[in-house]
Every structure is written in C-alpha cells, then in structure tokens.
Amino acid sequence: MQQRVLASQLAERAGETVRLQGWVHRRRRLASVTFVVLRDRSGLAQVVIRDPETVELVEKLGEETVVEVVGKALANPQAPGGVEVVDPTLTPLTEPAETPPIELWRPSVNAALPTLLDNAPTTLRHPKLKAGFEIASAAVQGFRATLSGLDFTEINTPKLVESATESGANVFAVDYFGKPAYLAQSPQFYKQHLVGVFERVFEVGPVFRAEPHNTGRHLAEYVSLDAELGFVQDHCEVMDVCEQVVVGMVSAVRERAAAAVELLGVELPSTGGGKIPVVDFTEVLRMVGAPPDEPDLAPAHERAIGEWAQAEHGSDFVFVEGYPTANRAFYTHPRPEEPRWSRSFDLIFRGVELVSGAQRLHRYEDYVAVLRERGLPLESYASYIDAFRFGIPPHGGFAFGLERFVSRLTGAENIREVTLFPRDMQRLSP
C-alpha cells in the first residue's frame, strides 16, 4: 500500500497522488465545491471535493470522524501550505463521529475551563490546547538531555512511602496491604541518598500534594523535575547546573516545538546574553524597600526583582540566593559564617518563583542538631538521616514542576490548562 503522507509533507508532494489519514477538522460546503480540512499530528491539509457522491458522504461524516483521503496533491497558492488535495477518494476509518463538546475547528478555544477539563480526551485535540503539551514534551527532553550531558543518572524512586516525613502535612494516605502508607510529596530524601551512589541524579516523575487550596496554581498531582549533585563547594555549582538546565529546556522548546511556540505566540525567554544575574535576599529587600527582617519575598518583591533583571540585564531570569535559614526546609545548608542565612536559592522567572534549590546538609550530626532545634522527632527521620553516617558528599539540588514551567512559558492563566488530566480538590476524572 502507498505510504501515508502527513499534512506537513504535502508541500513536497505537489503533482503526486497522496494518501492522507486524519480527522475531519472542518467541512465547508459551497455551491459548487466542498472543502474538508483534514487534521493529523503534523497539522492541517485542505481537501477539495466536487464529486457529488463524496460531497454527500462528507455531509454524513461529522467533524472529528477519522478518514483516509487518497487524491492528487495540487499546488494552489490560496490553500494553507500552498498545496491542496483534489479529486479525493474519501474512506471513513471510524463510524461518523458525534458532535464534539466544543467546536475544535475554531481558531480560538471558546469554552469555560470546566467544560474543557470534563471533556479533556476530546477537547485536548484543539491545536491551541495540544500545543502546550508539545511544549511540555520538548521541555522534558531538554531537561533530560542537559543533565545526561552533565553525566547525571536517571533514577526512579518509589511513590509509595512509609512516613509522611518531609512536611508532615498535606499527604495522601494509602491502604497498603492493610497498613498505612503515603504518596510521596517529593523524591527529596531518595535523591540525596542516591548522590551517595551515583553522585549526580535526576528524576522526572509524579509527586502528590494533598493541599486544600483551590487556586489556578495548585495541583494535587504534578510532574516534578528533580536534580541533585554531589561534590559541590556550595550552592553556586547547583545554581550553575540549574541555569544550564533551564536554558537547555528553552532551547529544546525552540527546536522541537517550534510550531506550538508559533501557534501560541510564545515569546521564549532569554538570559540577556550572559549568565543569569544573582542577587542576595537581603539586597532584594533593600532594593524594594522592605524591612530587613522579612522571612521571605512577597509576590510584589519577586515582580520587582524580575523587572530589575529585565531592565538591568535584559534577562527574564534572576537568581535570589541566601534566604533565611529558618524559613527553608530543615535539610538546607546554612552559611557557615552566618548561619541565619542559608545556601539556598530561588530562580525567579518573569517575576515569579520557578525553581527552588539549595546546598543540603550532608553530615549526620548536623541533621541530628537541626531536627532537635526544630523540635522534629528523630525517630520519624531515622532511616533518612542514618544514611548520612556512611559518607554522603557535600551536595545540593533543585526541583520544579513541569506544569508550572510550561504555564509560565505560555502565559496560561490556570495551570490546569497545561495539565493533561488535572487533579485537584474537586477533580479526579477524567
């Protein structure tokens, strides 16, 4: 049988007989001619039908019916892509499709978010909704490629865990063969332990947060991009890897998801031609005129430092380092000379926090001390901290959510728009 040609390849086939397969994206019946726009994974193709029997057949096949089209590819400057298919034989590959929940052929998505999410298996076909996931797929490839190139090993750590240790709250409980278990909120402890095995590790996998928040930024399940590396001097090497990763992800999106970027009109971010600027936490407070004892940056502060980075460095990114130790996770490494501040950082992207990272504690005694200091029960953390008795090198890492990255990149108003099948307090299906 003749090889299938994709819509995007049609331009090279003018003059040939071609076989296309795809969905009836749109039908337009005029007096003397009917147009079918065929959609496949590569894009759209225009099919011109004059034969009355085929016109009648098309009448019966609603939008989204899957069809095969065999016809002649003909150059036509008016057709999208410059080539259309004429004199087609059209064969349905499925039953006529029912009317989809939204009109997928419209250039814009005209439906409320709940409608889109309730009918996700079908609504995701809209080119503008699909584009976000093409960007996500490319971004993940960039994440992995960058870290693999830096000699990181990919790991898969368990999502079923014995105790709800990292935060102690907001965990989902599981009935595990009659015993209690929890869904992992992050691979944090595992990736630190595995620095002792592989030195440099990364993981792409789901994490679970039972946060009772119903905002446009929260998901109960998301894809966490995690990296951790050993033999660092301090958090600066971690920031350096983080920068390479984010730059690599943007490059991968540019190269592998060009059509999606164009369709959504995404302006890809830049570091302004140099290294991402780094500003100390206290300096940010000073710059924005906030009191010097603020425990964290407020959204307004992040916006302000984002604007500064854009104005001063032409960079969409800025690192803030040295957050107050008391306000970061207990495993964060303090500055030895001034332990009130930590060797931590956030990467601010266009005025909003994107990535969090830090050097971590690596000495067993330091863990014992900090758990005592924070009033956390040593027993609960025994299996985590015990591993540090056997030589874990100085290390650090970072993590961020894939959906967050994509939503900030595409400017999605709600993170659910860039999540295939989002999970939240109200939503567990489809």
Binders of its own copies among residues 155 to 194 (CB under 8 A) are: 155-163, 172-177, 179, 181, 183, 190, 193-194
Binding mask 401-430 for its own copies (x = CB under 8 A): -x-----------------xxxx-x--xxx
In the complex with its own copies, the residue whose CB is nearer, 230 or 334, is 230
Min. distance of Cβ 62 from its own copies in angstroms?
Answer: 8
In the complex with its own copies, the residue whose CB is nearer, 35 or 133, is 133
Say which DSSP state 7 is in.
G
Binding mask 24-63 for its own copies (x = CB under 8 A): x---------------xx----------------------
Spatial CB neighbours of 36, under 8 Å, sequence gap ≥ 6: 24, 25, 26, 27, 46, 47, 49, 58, 67, 69, 90
CB atoms near residue 325 (< 10 Å)? 21
Of the candidate spans 43-51, 196-204, 239-247, 342-350, the one that interacts with its own copies by CB under 8 A turns out to be: 196-204
Asked if 289 is part of the footprint of its own copies (rule: CB under 8 A), the reply reads no
The type of residue at 243 is: E
Min. distance of Cβ 240 from its own copies in angstroms?
Answer: 14
Distance CA(113)–CA(380), nearest Å, equals: 41
Spatial CB neighbours of 283, under 8 Å, sequence gap ≥ 6: none
In the complex with its own copies, the residue whose CB is nearer, 98 or 267, is 98
In the complex with its own copies, the residue whose CB is nearer, 105 or 308, is 105
Size of the site for its own copies (CB under 8 A): 88
Q: Candidates 289, 295, 375, 390: give the one binding its own copies (CB under 8 A).
A: 390
- Enter the tokens of residue 328: 């970061």
In the complex with its own copies, the residue whose CB is nearer, 170 or 282, is 170
DSSP 3-state of 406: helix
Asked if 141 is part of the footprint of its own copies (rule: CB under 8 A), the reply reads yes
Distance CA(57)–CA(14), nearest Å, equals: 26
CB atoms near residue 133 (< 10 Å)? 16
Q: Is 53 annotated as a binding residue?
A: no
Q: Are 336 and 346 in contact (CB under 8 A)?
A: no
The type of residue at 184 is: A
Task: Find the binding residues for its own copies in span 326-365 (CB under 8 A).
Answer: 362-365
Spatial CB neighbours of 30, under 8 Å, sequence gap ≥ 6: none
Of the candidate spans 21-29, 271-279, 298-306, 405-413, the one that interacts with its own copies by CB under 8 A turns out to be: 21-29
DSSP 3-state of 278: strand
In the complex with its own copies, the residue whose CB is nearer, 35 or 172, is 172
Distance CA(124)–CA(140), nearest Å, equals: 19
Of 337, 344, 336, nearest to 363 by C-alpha is 336
In the complex with its own copies, the residue whose CB is nearer, 100 or 272, is 100
Task: Find the binding residues for its own copies in span 204-243 (CB under 8 A).
Answer: 205-206, 208, 210, 212, 220-221, 223, 231
Asked if 258 is part of the footprint of its own copies (rule: CB under 8 A), the reply reads no
- Enter the tokens of residue 15: 């003059």
Q: Is 73 annotated as a binding residue?
A: no
DSSP 3-state of 390: helix
Min. distance of Cβ 163 from its own copies in angstroms?
Answer: 8
